[in-house]
Structure 1
């Protein structure tokens, strides 16, 4: 595990970051900046163990990996920001029980992503 820890958390991000810097430089030189993915952060993706912005956003907001994964499966989009995830949850808060999401995950969604009156189940 020590080897995995050293490679996944330190060496891989360092070398991949250097590679990405070179790739960005090359794309700039050949006037293909449209090929550069600005939001790609290998360090964060390795830290969280996910590759989708929509999976990372809820975890950054405090959700567990299990809850973030369940939410991601319902959202079915890859590039939602933290705020967009909050909005998606708020817009569908009254529908959670009908989405086949486990009660423990619904409770976490309500506690972490909704505030005040929005967190209460609909009557």
Structure 2
């Protein structure tokens, strides 16, 4: 078994999840039952080498089983690599650089902090060397700040136009970049990085608890913000009421940024609420949700 194997590769996803399951079941003392169930039709297969490999890997992982179980789609060996990275960083006094900050925070720069988090994910959890954190740092931040899909696409079209040294972007380029942006949002931001960020923060909290530091720190729910494409309290609260991201964005533009769902519900029913400022699409949506008087 390659103890330096990568994580997050779609081609290896099944093997990775099976390995995680077997290691967890080995810790729980039920690996023989798991293998027997899987090989019901092939009872004569010799599984000695498989169990020895799992036991060898198990000896290299010190993280608690409960944490591994919560992140069973990520290799336990890669999770251990990230944990060891955290221990080294904490020992050297680099605590703050490990913690992502709220997307709307002014200082430290949330984009740079997010780039550092993504770099650690790429290097230690995924086991690959890349500079993709430079792109996904700003892309994720723009998405979490509620930037419109149109604006994200326009940015990427312009970026590609400049890279190709074109005088103007044609319809083919716009269509290609639009599809790419939507795919990156769904497969990268809302799935890939949500999965790895949850794992990252779980391991970070565990490492901080070991050092007696967890109670002193507030870590924003970045995975939730990435999933929603929102981080301002008003926009998140509007989505809690059942609104789409587009509707929540329009509503939040008419209200202060720090309001909860109760405030929004009450405000929408007041005679003074500026419903004329809403698009017809959004107006129909919030009427359907029963949020307007």
Q: Aligning the two structures, in what range does the TM-score lie when normalised by the shorter sequence? A: 0.5 to 0.7
Instruction: Considering fraction of residues, name the structure with more helix.
Output: 1
Alpha-carbon distance in structure 2 between the residues aligned to 1:31 and 1:47 = 27
The residue correspondences of 1:1-123 to structure 2 (distance < 5 A) are 1=180, 4=184, 5-28=186-209, 29-37=211-219, 40=221, 42=223, 44-78=224-258, 80=260, 82-90=261-269, 93-97=270-274, 101-102=277-278, 104=280, 105-106=282-283, 108-114=285-291, 119=293
Pairwise CA distance, 1:113? 4.7
TM-score by length of 2: 0.31
Whether the 8 Å contact between 1:54 and 1:77 is mirrored in structure 2 is yes
1:24 deviation in Å?
1.8
Pairwise CA distance, 1:95: 0.5
| RMSD, aligned α-carbons | 3.1
Larger radius of gyration: 2
Q: Find the aligned partners of 1:17 and 1:101 in 2 and give their Cα distance.
A: 37
Count of residue pairs the alignment pairs up: 110
TM-score by length of 1: 0.63
Residues 15-56 of structure 1 deviation map (CA, whole Å, 9 limit, x = unaligned): 11111112222333333424233x6151x3223222223212
Distance change >3 Å, CA 48–CA 31, structure 1 → 2: closer
Q: For residue 53 of structure 2, what is the aligned residue in structure 1?
A: none
| Cα distance in 2 between the residues matched to 1:73 and 1:86 | 15
Rounded to whole Å, the distance in 2 between the matches of 1:108 and 1:3 is 25
Instruction: Structure 2: state its 5+ residue gaps.
Output: 1-179
Q: Which runs of 5+ in 1 are unaligned?
A: none
- Judge conservation of contact 1:96–1:106 (CA < 8 Å) in 2: no
